[in-house]
Structures are given as structure tokens and as C-alpha cells.
């Protein structure tokens, strides 16, 4: 988690703020960041659920999505909503091209082939973006005044509260989509049994493309919100490093587990920033999620909400 504006001020004025309020501020800030982490985690899960493919380029996807939105905002003057629509269109187009031209040819190939393709895609996006988007401002301000609110003695910035609310609504909409929509039901069928889904007449390749398009849209939302509250630029791709502990802790195929794990990791990182980093030095929050991952794997190797795969031999 990136440093939270306001928390260090609270820590510095401990004479006027109780230790309990400081703890509550850390927990709240971590939970707000965790909701945005959940969006990134879900961009991973929707692809894995449908295609069983691990997208190691997810951090670059989020970075590219945020840069597309910033380009639409600052370069094309589209306004925030127009820039987000521009970013979604660009990421959906990338997802469709990637699915049709590359993934379709890799069906039936070993898993290592898919992994290497995703890593290569990440390298290509990172190198190309540094050239294409050079000189374009990376900031994406939210259309609200940046003020510090105090809720029961706990300070929280208005932009983080709004970003977390938007992320929560997006997560709820995705949950509804998977549970009630026809396409969502088809994706769940594919995740359960691809051969049975094909027998029922579900187009695997079409729904693979849809899952990657969903990942692109979620990347736009997550990249935009994270840039708005914590700064943008090419450093947004570090969000991808936080995703893997989160989705493994929650369960690779569990949407609800990803949300819970993301909030848990966000809170743990925030507590590490407030209590441990002043003593052990900066950067400890980076390893917090991986320590939580090791602890979770000792208890449930398939994730807190994941399901154990059983194969007949």
C-alpha cells in the first residue's frame, strides 16, 4: 500500500489523538485501499475462472489502463467519464485482439506456454507504454474537493472514501453479473467444466474473450481509482505484485474470497506502516502480504475460500 496522506499527521499529533483513534484510522485506511486491491484481484480471477490462465501481466494491464484514461483526460480533453470510456474501449479492444490472435492458438498447449505469453505481453506493454505515453501527465483527479473528513474521531480523506465506494459498487455489479446474467452463468459453467459447457453449446473462445474484456474494464476502474488517491505513472504496475498473494489467500477461483483477502491484506499493510515501519525501517509493508500468504498456505493450501480440486485416477 502506498503511504496514506493523513495517517502520518495523526501519528505526529499523538498528544491530541488517542492511540485507539490512530489504530482505527490505520484499519480504515487499509480497508479502503483493500477495496481497490479487490478490483485488481477480480481482474485476475475472472480470467482464471474461465480459462485457467494465470495472467502475469496484470500489473502492466492496470498501468496501461490508467495511462489510457490519463491520455483521454489530458491529451484528448474528454473529461473524466469520457476518458474512462476511452480507456475501457482501448482495453476491451486489446483483450479481444489478444484473445483472438494469440490465446485461440494456444488452446491445448502446456500451461508454461500461456505463462510465457503473459509475461512477454507484460514486457511489451511496459516498453511500449514508456514511449507512447511519454510526456502525458499521469494524474487523474476525482471531481470532488480533497478534504479530510472525521468520522467518530477517525480522519479519512474524501477522495479515498469516494474511490472505495465506487470500487465497492463495481464489485457488487460484477457479483450480480456472474450470478444472474446469462453470460455470467455461461462463464461459471465454463469454470466448472469446459467440456460440459462446450457440449451445452457454449462458445468457449467467445467467452474467453469476454473474460479478458472484463479484466480490461476492471483494470481501468482499479487503475483510475488508485491513480486518483495515490498517484499514477508507470508505478501503478506494482499493484500486480500485490494481486498474487491476495488471490492465493482468498482462493484462485473465489470472488468473495478475493474481496475478503484484499481487505485483509490492505489492513495488514496499513498496520505495518503505522506500527512496524517506524522501528524496522520503510518498505516492510511490501513483505506483509507475502507473510500473510505463507501463514494462510499453512492453514489452507487451496485458499481460505477456495475449493479443493479432486480428480479421479
**293, part of any domain:** yes
Tell me what pLDDT residue 22 has. Answer: 83
Higher pLDDT, 106 or 66: 66
| Total tally of structural domains belonging to the chain | 1
Place of cell 480440486: 309
Higher pLDDT, 111 or 265: 265
**131, part of any domain:** yes
Cβ-based neighbour number of residue 52 at 10 Å = 14
- Model confidence band, residue 89 (pLDDT cutoffs 50, 70, 90): very high
Tell me what pLDDT residue 99 has. Answer: 82
Most confident of 87-91, 201-205, 256-260, 306-310: 87-91
What tens digit of pLDDT does each residue of 154-194 get? 777 888 888 889 999 999 999 899 888 888 888 888 877 77
Place of cell 483494470: 219
- Cα 189 from Cα 204, distance rounded (Å): 10
- Model confidence band, residue 233 (pLDDT cutoffs 50, 70, 90): low
Strand-pair partners of 148: 157
- Model confidence band, residue 92 (pLDDT cutoffs 50, 70, 90): very high
- Model confidence band, residue 18 (pLDDT cutoffs 50, 70, 90): confident
Alpha carbon 86 to chain centroid distance? 19
What is the H or E stretch that residue 57 is in? Answer: none
Higher pLDDT, 204 or 19: 204
Grouping H, G, I as helix, E, B as strand and the rest as coil, residue 239 is helix
**306, part of any domain:** no
Higher pLDDT, 268 or 10: 268
Contact (Cβ atoms closer than 8 angstroms) between residue 50 and residue 207: yes
**1, part of any domain:** no
**240, part of any domain:** yes
Q: What is the mean pLDDT of residues 227-236?
A: 73
**CATH number of domain containing 289:** 1.10.3470
**311, part of any domain:** no
Contact (Cβ atoms closer than 8 angstroms) between residue 159 and residue 248: no
- Cα 287 from Cα 198, distance rounded (Å): 42
Contact (Cβ atoms closer than 8 angstroms) between residue 27 and residue 270: yes
Could you tell me the residue range of the domain that residue 28 belongs to? 7-299
**312, part of any domain:** no
- Model confidence band, residue 267 (pLDDT cutoffs 50, 70, 90): very high
**204, part of any domain:** yes
Tell me what pLDDT residue 68 has. Answer: 94
Q: Does the reported pTM lie above 0.85?
A: yes
Amino acid at each position: 500500500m502506498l503511504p496514506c496522506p493523513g495517517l502520518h499527521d495523526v501519528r505526529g499529533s499523538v498528544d491530541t489523538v488517542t492511540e485507539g483513534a490512530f489504530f482505527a484510522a490505520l484499519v480504515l485506511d487499509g480497508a479502503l485501499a483493500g477495496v481497490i486491491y479487490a478490483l485488481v484481484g477480480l481482474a485476475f480471477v475472472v480470467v482464471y475462472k474461465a480459462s485457467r490462465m494465470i495472467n502475469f501481466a496484470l500489473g502492466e494491464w492496470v498501468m496501461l489502463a490508467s495511462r489510457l484514461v490519463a491520455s483521454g483526460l489530458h491529451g484528448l480533453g474528454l473529461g473524466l467519464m469520457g476518458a474512462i470510456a476511452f480507456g475501457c474501449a482501448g482495453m476491451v479492444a486489446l483483450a479481444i485482439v489478444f484473445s483472438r490472435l494469440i490465446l485461440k492458438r494456444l488452446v491445448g498447449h502446456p500451461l508454461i506456454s500461456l505463462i510465457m505469453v503473459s509475461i512477454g505481453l507484460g514486457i511489451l506493454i511496459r516498453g511500449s507504454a514508456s514511449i507512447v505515453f511519454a510526456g502525458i501527465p499521469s494524474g487523474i483527479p476525482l471531481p470532488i474537493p480533497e478534504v479530510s473528513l472525521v468520522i467518530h474521531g477517525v480522519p479519512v480523506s474524501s477522495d479515498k472514501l469516494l474511490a472505495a465506494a465506487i470500487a465497492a459498487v463495481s464489485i457488487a455489479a460484477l457479483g450480480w453479473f456472474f450470478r444472474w446474467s446469462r453470460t455470467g452463468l455461461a462463464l461459471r459453467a465454463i469454470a466448472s467444466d469446459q467440456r460440459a459447457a462446450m457440449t451445452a453449446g457454449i462458445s468457449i473462445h467467445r467467452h474467453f474473450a469476454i473474460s479478458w474484456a472484463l479484466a480490461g474494464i476492471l483494470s481501468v476502474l482499479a487503475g483510475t481509482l488508485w491513480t486518483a488517491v495515490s498517484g499514477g505513472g508507470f508505478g501503478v504496475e506494482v499493484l500486480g505484485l500485490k494481486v498474487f498473494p491476495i488471490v492465493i489467500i482468498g482462493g484462485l477461483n473465489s470472488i468473495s474470497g478475493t474481496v475478503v483477502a484484499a481487505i485483509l491484506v490492505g489492513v495488514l499493510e496499513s498496520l505495518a506502516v503505522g506500527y512496524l515501519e517506524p522501528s524496522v525501517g520503510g518498505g516492510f509493508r511490501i513483505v506483509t502480504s507475502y507473510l500473510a500468504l505463507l501463514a494462510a498456505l499453512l492453514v489452507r493450501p487451496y485458499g481460505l475460500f477456495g475449493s479443493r480440486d479432486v480428480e479421479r485416477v
